[in-house]
Structure 1
Amino acid sequence: MLEMVKEAEKQLLNYPQRGLAWYLKRTVKIATGKKQEPPDKINWPNGLLAKSLIDYYMQNKNSEEAGIIIKCLRKYYDRWIKRGCKLYYLDDIYSGMALIDLHQITGEEKYKKAAETMAQYLFHHEMDGAGSFPYRPGQLNGYVFADGIGMVCPFLCKYGSTYGDMNAINLAIVQMQNFIEKGMDSKTGLPYHGYQFESGIKYGIIGWGRGVGWLMIGMAESLAYMEETMPDYDMIKQSYRRMVDKVEAYQLENGLYSWQLTAKEGPVDTSATAMILYAIARSLETKVLIGIHKSRMQRGKEALLHMVKEGKLYDCLAECQGFSMYPQIYGAYPWSLGPALSLFAMDIE
C-alpha cells in the first residue's frame, strides 16, 4: 500500500501535468477570443487523492509516512490559498474533505478560512427550481449530475458537523432528496447519470458505474456526518440501503463492477469498483449497513488489491465528457487510485 501512497503524493502535486505546448496553445486561443477553461488544480481528481492520503494518515498517525503526507497536503492547499482560493466548478469542492481534516490536525486557521470559502461558494451557487446545483451553470442547460452529489454533499455535511453549521447540512439534504426523487430509474433502482428539473427528463445511461459510485459516496459520507435524530436521516439511509442492494446484484463473480453495471460482459472499471466498495466499507464502519454486505465488499477489495501495479491501479475508465459520453479508454488515473487507497486504508472489523 505504501507504493500507492507515494504515487498519490506525487500525483496530488503534479496532476494534471501540462507542458509548455499546452500553455502556448491556451494563450493563443485566449488571444483570439476563444473561451478557455482555467488551469484548475484544486479539482475533483486531486480531491480524491487528497482524501485518500488523509484516510491513510488517520490509520497510520505514528508511521514515518504520516509526516510526509501532512507536508504534501500543506503544499497542495497552501499553493491554492496563495493564489486566492479561487473556485471554478462544483467539482473543486471535493478537495474540501481533506482540507477540513488538515485544519483539525494542524489547528491553522488559514485552512478553516479556506474551507469557509468553499462553503460560501456553495451557499451562493446557482440553483434550479428545486434547490439543486446545476453541474455547469454557464452552459444554461440546468443539468444535475449524480457526480455532483458525491463531490458536494460530503463536504457540506462534514463542514456542517465540524463547524456547527446546519445550513450546510440542510443544503446537502436537499441535493440528495432531489436526486433520489428525480434521478433514479424506477425499474432497476439504479441512477441515471443526471436529470433536468424543469423538463423532468432524465439523461445519460442507467447505471454508469462511476456515476453510481459518486452517488453512493455522496450518501455514505453524508450519512456519516448527519445526526441520526435529524428528520431526513432515516429517509436518506433507507434510500441508500435500497440502492446498495440493487447495485450489489450487478457485482461480477470476480468481485469487480463493469463500467456500466448492467453490461456484465463489458469491460470492468476499477474506478467504479473502488468507489462503490469504498462507500459500502464506509457505511459498514458507521453501521449504516450491516455485516451481510461485508463479504461482497471484501471480495471486491481483494480483487482490486491484486490489480495494483507499481502503486497504480489500471483498467480505469477515462474521464467522462458529459451525458452518454464515456470514452472506452482504460488506463491508470487518479480516480481509481484515490478511492482504492481510501478503501485499502480502512480497517473494517
Structure 2
Amino acid sequence: MDAMPLTKPVLRNKIDLVAKAFSRLKGIKEGLVGADAGGIQFDEWDWEVGVGLYGFLRRASAANDRLAIDDLVDWYARQIARGLPPRQINSTAPMLPLAILIEHVDRPEFRGLVEDWADWLVHALPKTEDGGFQHVVKERSNDGELWDDTLFMACLFLARAGVVMGRPDWVDEAVYQFMVHARYLSDPVTGLWYHGWTFNGRHNFARAFWARGNAWITVAIPELFKLVPELNSKDKRFLANVLASQVRSLKKLQRPDGMFHTLLDDPTSPVETSATAGIAYGILRGIEAGILPAADRRHAENALAAVLAHIDNEGVVQGVSDGTPMGHNLEFYRRIPNLPTPYGQALTMLLLTEVLLEGEEQE
C-alpha cells in the first residue's frame, strides 16, 4: 500500500479517482465527483448506482453542500422524466437516497414516488412463506427465495420512507423483514449469514457464507439504526446481538493482511475486496451507532488498509468477485473470477466517504 498519510485531501482524491473509474466501468464519461466536475453523470437506475448515490448523499448532507445536493436533485429528475425500469428488489436501491433527499428539497413528484414505491413493496412485491420479501430481480423471479442482500437493497428504503412519511406500519414491515431474514439466513453457531434460503425444498442452497452477502448484513443493521432513530428498543436489542454475533466470527476470519475470502471460512477461496470494504464500513457504522465496541475499529482499519492497497493508480478497485447468483455448491463460489466491477467501486466509495466524514466530524 502507498505509505502516503491518509489525510483529507488524499481521501478526497481517492474518492474522486474511484468514482471516475466507476463511470468508466459503466461506460459513462464522468464520475460522481460533485458540481465542480460537471455534476452527476451516472445514467442508469441500478443497485450499484444506488450504493454510490447513498455515499454521495451522506457526504453532501454532512457538509451541507447545496451544489452536490442540487446535483442529486437533477439526477433524480432526469431519471424520473425519462421513465424508470420495472420495480424489483435491486431497482429499489436508488430509492433509499431519494427517501432521504426529499427532506432537503420540496419536490412533490419525489415524495409521490417514494410513497408509491414503498406501498408497492408492502402490497405488490411477491412474498415468500412467512411474508418475506421474495428476492425478485430483473433476470428472474426467484420464487420462494430469501437472499441476504434484500435487506440493504429494499428494506432500508422502506424503513426510511416510513420515518419520513409518518408511516410506522412501513417501519414495522421493514423491521419484520430483518427478523424473518435473520430466522432463515443467520447461522446460530457462527453468527454468519448464508447467501440464501428457499422454501421450495427448505434449505440454504450451498450453505455458503458468502463474503459480500455477509457484508450487506454488516452494513444494513447499523444503517437501520441510523435511519430509524426511534427504533423499538426490543428490536434494537435483537438486531444488535445479531450483528455482534456476526462480527465476532468475522474478526476471527479476517486475514492478517486485512482481507476476507470470498467464502469467509474457506482460505482456499479468493480474497475479495468489495466484501472487505463493506465489512469495514459496517463495523465503523456499528461503532458509531453504539452497537459494536470501539476496540473493533482496528479490524476496520486493517480492512481499510487492505482495500486501499487494491486501488490502482487509475482508481480501479482490484480483487472484486464478479456478479454472484445463488450457488448450489461451494465450488461455484470458488470459481467466481475476480475482476473490476461497478459495485466494487461503489462499496469502496462508501467506505472512503465514511472515513472522510469521521475525520471531518472530529475537527
Verify the 8 A CA contact 2:280 2:303 in the aligned structure 1. Answer: yes
Please give the alpha-carbon distance, in whole angstroms, between the structure 2 residues aligned to 1:262 and 1:205: 11
**Structure 1 residues 237 and 133, CA gap change in structure 2 (3 angstroms):** same
Q: In the aligned structure 1, how far is the partner of 2:209 from the partner of 2:303?
A: 18
Q: What is the root-mean-square deviation in Å for CA atoms of aligned residues?
A: 2.6
**1:236-281 residue CA offsets vs partner (Å, 9 max, x unmatched):** 2211211111222111101111111112243211111111111111
Residue matched to 1:24? none
How many positions carry a matched residue from both structures? 324
Q: Is residue 293 from structure 1 mapped to residue 296 from structure 2 by the alignment?
A: yes
Describe the superposition over 1:270-315 as per-residue Cα deviations: whole angstroms up to 9, x where unpaired.
1111111111111111112121211111121122123222222111
Q: Could you list the runs of 5+ residues in structure 1 that have no partner in the other structure?
A: 19-39
Q: For residue 255 of structure 2, what is the aligned residue in structure 1? A: 252
SS at match of 2:291: coil
| CA spacing shift, 1:95–1:127, aligned 2, 3 Å | same
* Structure 1 match to 2:129: 129
Distance in 1, Cα, partners of 2:75 & 2:282: 25
Correspondence 1:79 to 2:89: no
Counterpart in the other structure of 1:182: 184
Task: Identify if the C-alpha distance between structure 1 residues 12 and 82 changes in structure 2 by more than 3 Å, giving closer, same or farther.
Answer: farther
Q: Decide whether the 8 Å contact of 1:189 with 1:246 is kept in 2.
A: yes
- Mapped to 2, the partners of 1:204 and 1:243 lie a distance apart of 19
Q: TM-score, normalised by structure 1?
A: 0.83
CA distance in 1, matches of 2:118, 2:22: 22
Between the two proteins, what is the percent identity of the paired residues? 21
Amino acid in structure 1 at the alignment position of 2:239: I
**Secondary structure of the corresponding residue to residue 195 of structure 1:** strand
Partner of 2:40: none
Q: In 2, Cα distance between the equivalents of 1:205 and 1:233?
A: 27
Deviation per CA, 1:56-87: give whole Å up to 9, x if none: 3234445xxx62x4354334322321134443
State the shift of 1:3 in Å: 4.2
For the residue of structure 2 that corresponds to 1:77, the secondary structure is helix
Matched residue SS, 1:312: coil
318-327 vs 128-137, which deviates more? 318-327
Q: 1:43 to 1:336 in 2, by over 3 A?
A: same
- 1:282 and 1:140 mapped to 2: Cα distance? 31
8 Å CA contact 1:256, 1:300 repeated in 2? yes
3-state SS of the aligned residue for 2:278?
Answer: helix
Q: SS at the partner of 1:105?
A: coil
Report the equivalent of 2:95. Answer: 96
Match of 1:25 in 2: none
CA, structure 1 residues 109+132, in 2 after alignment: closer, same or farther (shift >3 Å)?
A: same
1:302 partnered with 2:312:
no
Aligned ranges 1:226-265 → 2 under 5 Å: 226=228, 227-265=230-268
Gaps of at least 5 residues in structure 2 are: 1-10, 29-42
Matched, 1:170 2:172: yes
Deviations 1:3-45 (A, max 9, x none): 4544565577787449xxxxxxxxxxxxxxxxxxxxx932211
| CA distance 1:139–1:258, change in 2 (3 Å) | same
State the SS of the aligned residue for 1:223.
helix
| Residues 223, 237 of structure 1: 8 Å contact kept | no
Provide the C-alpha distance between the structure 2 equivalents of 1:122 and 1:238, rounded to a whole number of angstroms.
Answer: 27
